[in-house]
Amino acid sequence: MTDLAVASHGLTKRFGGQVAVDTVDLAVPRGSVYGFLGPNGSGKTTTIRMLLGLITPSSGGHTLLGERMPDHAAAVLPRVGALVEGPGFHPYLSARDNLRRVDAADRTAAGRTADARIATALDRVGLSAAAGKRFRTYSLGMKQRLALAAALLTPRDLLILDEPTNGLDPQGTREVRTLIGTLAAEGATVMLSTHLLAEVEQVCTHVGVMHRGALVAQQRLGDLRADAEPRARVLTDQPAAAATVLRALGLTGLTETAAEASGRLGTVAPEKVVATLVHDGVPVRGFTVQAPSLEDVFVHLTGQGFDVSG
């Protein structure tokens, strides 16, 4: 397991009679950017809180950076940066002074380099110009940036980020996305819980999907999409007739609009679909086979759309 930055085995959390996280086996490779996805209430944040030792699992266990937790928490957690469920800072202190307090609480951080490290962290998240402003005057997006800065005060081998772009404008989102890519290129492992598909598709190398407390998929992003069934899309002025043919051929998940019909191909050859449509007199103005989007994969796995925030 030394090649895994995060590994869990049967990780479970119960709250009374409710199972919030059900025997989750995570495998987050070192050096990866791991997108941790799932509908609201699927157990993502509860899982992250267990990984960081903020709550105790009901059963199962896990390792961070190859060390069993919580036995080696004192040695491991200083190498882990985290942002969970939004930032919490002193409202009447400036951003710079808040980071000084955070840094002073880290017994592994060298005090003589604190000012330089704080300045660098603020610069990386675009807060240098606002470093002297009180936290209570910050917008939600600026608060998120400051929380990221706190996670970057010292070099981290692992970053666990829960919705790091929450409240950011599009430019800020792009900047955080670039920062995550830079951190990964520098050798850090990033575990990213998010509901933004653009983040996942642009920066993530691996994906884990949670649904009702269970980990229903975990793969390289490219492999996850490759394993999903492609869709056949027929452009025609007779979509109902086309849909009838597709259904008879065994295609599933059929949809119709005023100008097209589509369905999941499964094992049906695309050329057979076209030949059958023509044979049955359905006019075909266009035919394409589309690889499924990440949202298609998500809906297939969970039965829910990707309008999530948990």
Q: What is the pLDDT of residues 178-200, one digit of tens each?
A: 899 899 999 999 999 987 777 78
Q: What is the pLDDT of residues 46-72, one digit of tens each?
A: 999 999 999 999 999 999 999 999 999
Among 207, 226, 245, the domain-final residue is 226
Residues ≥6 apart with Cβ < 8 Å to 68: 61, 62
Report yes or no on 304 lying in a domain: no
Name which of 86-90, 110-114, 137-141, 155-159 the model is least confident about: 86-90
Torsion of CA 136, 141, 142, 145, to 10 degrees: 130
Domain, as residue range, for 275: 229-291
Q: Considering the entire predicted model, what is its pTM?
A: 0.81
Report yes or no on 310 lying in a domain: no
DSSP count for the chain of H helices, then E strands: 11, 15
List the CATH number of the domain containing 270: 3.30.70.980
- Is 75 in the same domain as 120? yes
Q: How many domains does the chain have?
A: 2
Q: What is the pLDDT of residue 309?
A: 34
Report yes or no on 196 lying in a domain: yes
- Is 137 in the same domain as 270? no
What is the sign of the dihedral through the CA atoms of 51, 54, 198 and 293?
Answer: positive
Torsion of CA 183, 121, 156, 21, to 10 degrees: -90
Q: Quote the CA–CA distance of 124 and 119 in Å, as a whole number.
A: 9
Among 226, 253, 276, the domain-final residue is 226
- Is 9 in the same domain as 151? yes
The H or E element containing residue 220 is strand 214-220
